[in-house]
Homo-oligomer: A and B are copies of this chain.
Amino acid sequence: MAGMITIGKLADYAGVTIKAVRHYHERGLLTEPDRDSSGYRRYTARHAIDLVKIRTLADAGVPLARVRELLDADPDTLTAAIADIDHDLKDRIARLRRTRLQLAQLRGGDQLFVSPDVATYLDALRDLGVSERQIRLERDGWILMQTASPADAAVWIAEKRELITDPAFRALYLEHDAAYDWPPDDARLPALAKRTRDWFTSHHSHTETRPVHNPTIAQLAAQSQPEATSPAWDRLAQLMRD
C-alpha cells in the first residue's frame, strides 16, 4: 500500500542507521512491523513517531532498557522521568564545560596536577630563580604527598609558603639548588651544611611539625626521577646528619 515505508526510509527520517532500527526491534523498543510479500519490513507513521521518541531519549543518554519502560509509561510518570533526564543532561553539560577548562590547562602547566596552593608556591619558586629541575622535583614531591595524605599536604604547603618569604630561607634554598651540580668534594659544602643546620635549629622552636626539608622531598620523589639526587646532595645530606 501507498503509505508503507521501508526500513531505509524510516532510518533516514529519524537519522539513524538501519542496523540501529533492527537493534531496537531486538530490544523490544520498536514493534516489528508486518512484512510485504518479499519479506521486507513495512513501516507506518506510528513507527516513525516511536522511533523519533526513542532517539530523543537515547540521545539524552537514557539506557535503551529504560527507554522501553518510558515508551508505555503513563503521562505523569513520563513527565517526571523527563524532568530527571533533563536535570542529568544539564549536569552533564556543566561537566563537559569543566572538562574544556581542564583540557586548556593540559597545555598550560602544572595547575592540573597539584592544588592551587602548591601551584602558586611553584610559581613563587620560579620567580625566585630556582632551576626547572628543582621545580619538577618539588612538584612531584607534592603530588606524592597529596595522594598519600591530602590533609597533611595542605598544612605543609601553607608552612612552606610562609617559609619561602623569609630572605634567609630563600638564600639557603637557592644555594641548595645550585649545590646540586657541585663536585661532592666542593669546599663550600661543609659551610652550607652548617648554615642550614643553624637555620633549622633557630627555627625549630618556631614551628611544631618540622617543615619539610628540601632534600627530604627529593628523597620522597627519588623513585620517580633518575635525576632526583646528585653526588653533592648525597654528601650534603651526610654532612647534615653528622
Contacts and interface: CB of A to CB of B under 8 A. Distances in A.
Q: How many copies does the complex hold?
A: 2
A40 B118 CA distance: 29
Contact of A48 (B3, B100, B107, B144): B144
B97 A3 contact: no
Interface residues of A, number: 56
Interface string A33-72: 0000000000011101100110011011000000000000
A147 B2 contact: no
A96 interface: yes
A74 to B, nearest CB: 13
A220 B2 contact: yes
Interface stretch (A79-87, A171-179, A192-200): A79-87
Give chain A's interface secondary structure class.
helix
A187 interface: no
Interface string A76-96: 001100100110011011011
B99 A3 contact: no
Given A9-B147, A48-B144, A56-B103, 12 more contacts: A2-B219, A2-B220, A5-B144, A5-B147, A44-B144, A45-B143, A48-B143, A60-B103, A78-B106, A82-B103, A89-B103, A93-B93
